[in-house]
Amino acid sequence: MTLLTDRAPAKVNLTLHVLGRRPADGYHVLESLVAFAGTADRLTLRAGDTLSLTVSGPTAGPAGPDADNLVIRAARKLEAKVPGLKLGAFHLVKRLPVAAGIGGGSSDAAAALRLLACLNGLRLDDPAMVEAARETGADVPVCLDPRGRMMRGAGEDVGPALNFPALPAVLINPGVPVPTAPVFKALGLTVGQTLPGAYHPEIPADQTGDTLIAALGPARNDLEGPALTVAPVIGECLSALRGQKSRLARMSGSGATVFGLFEDRHAAVAAAKRLRAAHPGWWIAPTFLR
C-alpha cells in the first residue's frame, strides 16, 4: 500500500503588523513576513478506503481529539471539492508545542493537503487545494508551500516566495498555551477601526542575512504587547534571548513562542544549550528559519 511522508515545519512570524479590523466581517487585517523552521512535526499517509488519524509524539496530548484536528478538517474540505478523492490513514508525530503562535496545527493541515495532492495527482495551486486551505484555517494557505513570504489580509493574500537566506535561530516556548482569541481581545480593536503605526518595511526577494535583519529591525509584532498581558512569561523568554546576545528577539504570532536570530549556527546551538540549562521546563529548539 502507498505510504507517503511529509514534514510540517513551524511557521514563524518574523513580523506581524495589525492594520485594523474589516467592517464587512470583523476579521483583523494583518501584514506579516512569515518564515519556516527546520523544526517540524511529521505526517504520514497510508492510502486506503477510510479517512483516519492517529497521533503520537511528545506533544500529542494537547493536540486535541481527532475530530477537531485540522488534518482531518483539511482532508474533508478537499474531499468535498474533488469527487472520488483518494484518502487513507494519517499518522501525525507531534513535536511542536500546541497553541504556541507557530502555526503547528495549520502546518499539519497543509502537510495533509500536500500528501493528498501527491496521492491524487493534484497541483498545489489547484483551485480546490487553495480553497480547501482557506476554509480550513487562516494560516493554512501560507503553510501550503512553506517558504518565506509575505501574507496579508486575514491570511488569504499570500505573496510569492522570497527565497531569503537561512537565518540561524532559537525558538523558545515556556509551556504556557496562549489561545489566539484572548490576545486579539486584549488588542482592543473594534470593527472598522484601524491601528496606527509605521508601514511594514519592503522586503525584496534578494537579501543577505544582514540586510534582512536590518529590514526586520524597524518592524514589529503588534500582538506582543497584548500577549504579555495574557502570559507575562513571554517577557521572560524575550529577556533570556536578549541575554544571549541575539541579533533580534521577537514573539511569533499571538504567542507564547518567541524567536531569537543569531550570527551563525554555532552561536544559536550554544545559546540553546545555555538556555536549556537555565530553564529546563521550557521547550527550546535551535534551528534555521527560511
Q: Is 107 annotated as a binding residue?
A: yes
Q: Is 246 annotated as a binding residue?
A: no
CB atoms within 10 A of CB 166: 14
* β-bridge partners, 12: 35
Query: Which DSSP symbol is given to 66?
Result: G
Q: Is 192 annotated as a binding residue?
A: no
Q: Is 137 annotated as a binding residue?
A: no
- Distance (Å, whole) CA 128 – CA 78: 7
H/E element, 41: strand 28-48
Q: Is 185 a catalytic residue?
A: no
Q: Among the options 11, 77, 108, 222, which is catalytic?
A: 11
Q: How are beta strands 149-153 and 167-173 bridged, if at all? A: unpaired
Q: Is 84 annotated as a binding residue?
A: no
Q: What share of the chain is helix, strand, coil (3-state, %, to 5)?
A: 35, 30, 40
What distances in angstroms separate CA 156 from CA 139, 225, 248, one per listed residue? Answer: 8, 25, 28
Residue found under cell 476554509: 135
Q: Is 105 annotated as a binding residue?
A: yes
Q: Is 11 a catalytic residue?
A: yes
- Distance (Å, whole) CA 57 – CA 259: 23
Angle at 71 between CA 111 and CA 57, to 5 degrees: 85
Asked if 262 and 246 touch (Cβ cutoff 8 Å), the reply is yes
The CA-to-CA distance between both ends of the chain, in Å, stands at 34
Q: Is 98 annotated as a binding residue?
A: yes
Query: Which DSSP symbol is given to 16?
Result: B
Query: Which DSSP symbol is given to 194?
Result: B
- Distance (Å, whole) CA 285 – CA 101: 15
Q: Is 102 annotated as a binding residue?
A: yes
Q: Among the options 6, 41, 108, 139, which is catalytic?
A: 139
- Distance (Å, whole) CA 157 – CA 34: 12
Which parts are annotated binding residues? 97-107
Which residues are catalytic, by number?
11, 139
Which parts are annotated binding residues for ATP? 97-107
